[in-house]
Structure formats: structure tokens, C-alpha cells
Structure 1
Amino acid sequence: MALWRAALLSPVIVPQLVWVRLRASRLPEAAGPRAGVVGHGPPVRVLVLGDSTAAGVGVPTQDEALSGQLAAALGRDFTVSWQVVARSGAVVPDAQAMLARGEGPFDCALICLGLNDAKNGRLQPAFEADYAALLRMLAERFGARSIVCSGLPPARFFTLLPRPLRDVLGARAARFDRVIARLAEAQEGARFLPMDFTDDVSLMAEDGFHPGPQIYADWARHAAAVMRADLMRAR
């Protein structure tokens, strides 16, 4: 949806935003360690970087979250040293700042970013420049050979949001999703992972906005398959 149309809808959207803020349940980030070692085989260092989905909002523990599921999937073939660098509400510049304070290097990285940038009204050119810089940072400073860039969910998964607010955010998310796909294609070692592995919105968490455990499991399985293929090619 064009920005001018969103502006025309603002008398409807603003009250809906207030309603959503009052109604939305605030689920915590997943409990448990944010780093560990699992599996058997050649050593691999894995980073999960991003927002509330990287932090595991929607499930009780990191074992059920993206990090734990990804580490378990890769641990069948590798000894995985995994780390989560994430915060609820993070946009791409936040992730850059968190990453700059962290420790590497990493062989593989899974990026879960972009929805907050779209939701918060960041301009697309700024988002594109920041995301491209983050990819370069992961490859050049942290040595990541396999970078999986998660796409953004389609509007039907925002079950918490009423229409037309859902349509406005869905349209912005779709544009940012295309930006992520284009940047991943341009960056060596990066792969775009579209969020199209399920159509079942009932698998969302109770807040109607975050993934539930089955979605995290599917997400991790697809990301692990990409990373595994990249690592095998590099051997």
C-alpha cells in the first residue's frame, strides 16, 4: 500500500494502533542460556542475530526457540558453538550495535530482522543501506561464510492486528522482504530464506504476532539445511 494511502487511512489506523497496544499481551523472551555447545563432528560457530524472534518470544525456553532448534539440527553433523545476540524491538542499527559489542568469529549467521523497521516507519533506503552494511560486517569483520537472511512473514500471520492496520503493515513488510531478498542475492555467502514454509496461522504464539514452537522448528530446519549445504561445499 502506498504511503499516501496509509496517510489517508490514519484516522482509522491510529485508533487501531492504540487498541492493539492496550490488547496485546507482552510475552517474554525465551528463558535459558544464550550460548552453548551441542553435537558431534567438525566445529562450527553459529550466530542467531536479531529481534524478538531471534530472542525466542513465543516459546518458554531457548531449547524450543530458533537458537536451540537450529543448534540441534546442525548438531547432527557438527559440534555447534552457538550464540544468540538479540533484543525484542530491535531494528537493524540496534543489531549492528549489539554485534559490535559481541565476540566472534562465526562460520554461520541467521539474521532475523526487518519487521520492526517496517512497523516503525523506517524509510526503505535507510533500511536497505543498514542491512547491506550488516551483511558486510558479518562477512568481513566476523568471517561468516554462510549468512541466512530470514524473510518477513506475510500479512495473514499478523492475526492480532485488525484491518486495515494489518494490510498497511503487510504491504510495508512485503516491500522490505523484497529488499532483503535482493541484498542477500548481491552478497557473497548470503542466502535469502522466505517465510513460506507454513500456511497455518494457528501455529502462531498466543499473542497473535510471534511464532509458536512448530514455526520455530520449521524455520530452524530450513535455515540449518542452507547452512549445512554451504558448510559442506566449503570443506
Structure 2
Amino acid sequence: MWKRTDANCKHVQLIIGLCLFVFFNISCFTVITSYTKSNFLTAIQLTPGFQEGLDPRPYFFLYGFAGLGFVLFYFFYHVLNPKISFEYRIKRDILFLIGCSLVLYLAPLFFPGFQQKFFPASLYFVIYDILDDFIIVQTWTLINYCIDIRESRKIQNLFLFSGGIAAFLSGRWVVPLIPADHPLGFLILTMVISSISYLIVSYIFTLHRSSILNSATNERVGVGALFT
């Protein structure tokens, strides 16, 4: 009986931890999409390269390039490195997001106007679009490795509710607080949210590392996984 109670408590803690992880990851996704990518699109639209060469079809170019970049990134860092643990991958993605945000803030300080040129702005847009994809992928992959959400519709709705509340609060209340000409606020916000996500992931793996890694090991990863 005590073992069953202890197992139930750990399961509840896991669900709460995953809900918080969904909340902060979707918040980060919303902040990046609403603030950073919109600024990049504005910068791209004002560059001569956009107006002269790609004016009719800029979004096809940017999102197509971002989609190709995501597939290549996934292939080189996930398929070709199957021995790397899932814990390392998900923590690396979070740290990579923090690092890119730091570069985003520092580059214009050392190279004024750098982010307002077509190719640098396009590159930043593509990088953050890839990071957007990885935020969503790592969120639902971790959930899939921790529990089988198909067993309970209530748990599915709980995660969806957590993500929906995060998107609403971030888009409605948080993003408008960041001045458009004040990237330091974005940097701090992104680093804080990502750091909280990192701590939550570390906590989840501390309690459930063996079961998560077993699920990740049993998951067959191959080129075909990209298209299924």
C-alpha cells in the first residue's frame, strides 16, 4: 500500500512538472514568435534586398529555408548521433536557445545596423524558426517518453490547457511589456523562461531518469522517423 501511495505521489509530481514544462516552453515559443520574428520580418521588409529581389515571395523563401534547416539540423545532431542521451539533447536545445538570444543582443552592439541587413536578418529568422520547432518537439517528446497521454483524455486536456494559458498570457500581457527598441528586455525574458524550463527538466530527470531513458532507448530513431 505504501509503495502504491508513493508511486501515485511520484506520478502526480511528474504530471505537475510536465504541465509546468509545457507552460514555460509555450511561453518561450510565444515570446520568440511574437517579438523576435516580427522584428526580423520588419527589418527584412525594409532592406533593399527584399524590395528588389524577393518582394513577391519572401515568406516562401524564409520558411522553406527554415524547414530545410530544421530537417538538416535534426539529421546531423540526432540521427547521426544516436548514442547521445535524450537528457543531453533536450538540455542542449535549451542552452542553445539561451546562447542564440545572447548573440542576438550582443551582435548589434558590436556591429550597429547588422540586424537590419537582409541576409543577417534572414539568418536570425531561420535560426529562431528552427528553435521554435525544437521547443515544440522537445516538449511533446518529453511528455511522450514520460507517460502515455493516450490513456487519459483528462491528462491530454490538462497539457493543452496549460499550453493555451501560457500562449494567452504571454501574447496578451508579457510581450506588449517589451519595448520594440529594447532587445535587452527580450534577452532577459527569454533567458529567465529558458532557465526555468532547464530547472524543470533537471528535476524531472532526477526523479524519473531511468524510465525516461528506457523509453527513449526503445524508441527507434532513423531517417524514416523524419517522415512519420
TM-score by length of 2: 0.32
Higher relative contact order (CA 8 A, sep 6+): 2
- The structure with the greater share of residues assigned to strand is 1
- The structure with the greater share of residues assigned to helix is 2
Bigger Rg, which one: 2
